[in-house]
Amino acid sequence: MEEYIYLDNAATTFPKPEAVYRALDRANRNAAVNAGRGSYALAEQAKQLIEDTRGLLLTLTKAKPAAEVVFTPSATFACNQIFGGLPWKREDIVYVSPYEHNAVMRTLHFLQKRYGFAIEELSVDAGTLELDLEKIRYQFIQNPPTVLAMTHISNVTGYILPVEEVAALTDTEKMTVIVDGSQALGLIPVRLEQSGIDYYIFAGHKTLYGPFGVGGYIAQSTGNAEKLGLVIAGGTGSNSLNLEMPQLLPDRYEPGSPNVPAIAGLKAAIETFGSNYEEMCQTIEEHYQKERELTELLETELQKIQGVHTYFPQDKEKRSGICSFTIEGYFSDDIGMLLDEDYHIAVRCGYHCAPLIHKYLKDEPYGGTVRVGIGQFNTKEDIRQLIHAVEEIARG
């Protein structure tokens, strides 16, 4: 395969740690059986692997003792299961950040047409592109939220949203707080225990550096998990003569055969962070600092190039390894094609499945942005080659 510079890590991290590839191969060869569906040793071993992975996720997120991990095929499935399972009423009010991904927005739009609830956007400071906490406080006083949905890190600008601070602006006992951590878990420390967050969604193949095929969510108490209505039903391997889904958690929300190889890969990925919360946080901080250093190099040099516009939070403490830019005279797709064909650099172009934020970025004349997603396996040389390519493209 021709050597490529891969800078689309916000879509999926690539490559993965070697331990993940080894775990996938080992599981496919030796453990790809139906977990918990038989009394034989291999099935029990697969079941234990899944339970061990749940434990690692609870450790990684510092969740409450009663929290439950529910595995799904992806974060999008997790969004559908959570939002689709809430007891909606017409008078409900859902607040979303303008940074939400369509995994959240399309799911809510679909359900809004069915139930008639209102969707409101959290206020943003148009100058800094950050959430305006004072205006949000006023929004909550005027129209108290039933549900609050926020992404933890924007997949367009890399902005780290103050999710706990926003949740604390109103009575969390009277609303459901849902955070999409697809771009965050594994890159910044997460401590759910005292956060006020009811459901935290994760995607195995993004900042956790696991494989495709496994995502899910953490429900912060058994009460929160049990109050979700059913969105999908099917076989669980338990109480099979009963046509009702089991009450036992997490079985109630995990119909179908679990993806044992993908979960094995996710387990190996999490184990690269460490064996306890402190070790995991130290590794995560090292990953974050590396990505931020490369991001700052990229942003600094891009801002020197005539005709290039960048989109990122002004506060360096609120940035992750994502940087979006445009070049005057080019559509973003054209830039992506040139970077691919002439420089062998892979980036993402367009609107990035995030429908609300672009009115603030004012990037429609460019067909969206060119998004650079920096990952753990990128180097300064990768960034320098991208900068050189952008300089040549901008000169025409």
CATH number of the domain encompassing residue 87: 3.40.640.10
User: In the chain, where does DSSP find H-type helix?
Assistant: 18-30, 41-61, 75-85, 102-115, 133-142, 163-167, 222-226, 260-271, 277-302, 332-343, 358-361, 380-395
Domain residue limits at 236: 18-276
Same domain, 330 and 242: no
Q: What is the pLDDT of residue 268?
A: 98
What token pair was written down for 185?
Answer: 């878990």
DSSP run (H or E) holding 123:
none
Same domain, 209 and 312: no
What token pair was written down for 10?
Answer: 């916000």
- Parallel/antiparallel/unpaired status of strands 215-219 and 68-72: antiparallel
User: Angle 266-232-72 (CA atoms, 0-180°, nearest 5)?
Assistant: 5
User: Which of 173, 149, 176, 174 is CA-nearest to residue 163?
Assistant: 149
Same domain, 211 and 284: no
Give pLDDT tens digits for 106-143.
999 999 999 999 999 999 998 899 999 999 999 999 99
Domain boundary residue, one of 231, 259, 276: 276
Same domain, 209 and 310: no
Residue 1 has pLDDT above 50, yes or no: no
**Inter-residue contact 68 to 250 (CB < 8 Å):** yes
Domain boundary residue, one of 250, 276, 302: 276
**Inter-residue contact 327 to 308 (CB < 8 Å):** yes
Bridge partners (DSSP) listed for residue 210: none
Give pLDDT tens digits for 320-352.
999 999 999 999 999 999 999 999 999 999 999
Q: How many domains does the chain contain in total?
A: 2
* Rounded distance between C-alpha atoms, residue 285 and residue 267, angstroms: 20
User: Which of 64, 292, 75, 395 is CA-nearest to residue 197?
Assistant: 64
Q: For residue 226, give the amino acid letter.
A: E
Give pLDDT tens digits for 15-65.
999 999 999 999 999 989 888 777 899 989 999 999 999 999 999 999 999
* Least confidently predicted of 49-53, 94-98, 249-253, 282-286: 249-253
Q: Provide the whole-model pTM.
A: 0.96
Residue 387 has pLDDT above 70, yes or no: yes
User: Which of 290, 351, 292, 353 is CA-nearest to residue 324?
Assistant: 351
Give pLDDT tens digits for 179-225.
999 999 999 999 999 899 999 999 999 999 999 999 999 998 655 55
Residue showing tokens 């320098």 = 384
Write the CB contacts of 64 (distance below 8 Å, at least 6 apart in sequence).
192, 193, 220, 221
